[in-house]
Amino acid sequence: MPRDALFDQAVNRSAVYLERLGPLPEGAGPAEVAARIELWYLKTRFAYRVPLEEVVAALLARPADQPPGALEWAGGREGGWRAR
């Protein structure tokens, strides 16, 4: 799998996992997000190939005013959130 596609998949799957856990507290930082997705990260076979810190940074860049499932990450590490 190409690296950009792998990164996109890691961010999108971790975003779904994070949404299932419920909303983050307002102003949650990287440590809070990392703690919430750590179990997913450790259990997902391909995730170790994408640094957790980069996945967390992408998750924190998601616009908060969008409903769950409305956006997806695309474009690899240099990508961004877009409407599905």
Model confidence pLDDT, tens digit, residues 5-55: 999 999 999 999 999 998 888 889 999 999 999 999 999 988 889 999 999
pTM: 0.91
d(CA 45, CA 15): 16
Handedness of CA 16, 21, 22, 25 (dihedral sign): negative
Residue 20, exposed/middle/buried by CB under 10 A (0-12, 13-18, 19+)?
exposed
Residue 51 CA: distances (Å) to CA of 6, 54, 70, 77, 84? 11, 5, 24, 11, 24
Closest CA to 37 of 13, 16, 14, 54: 14
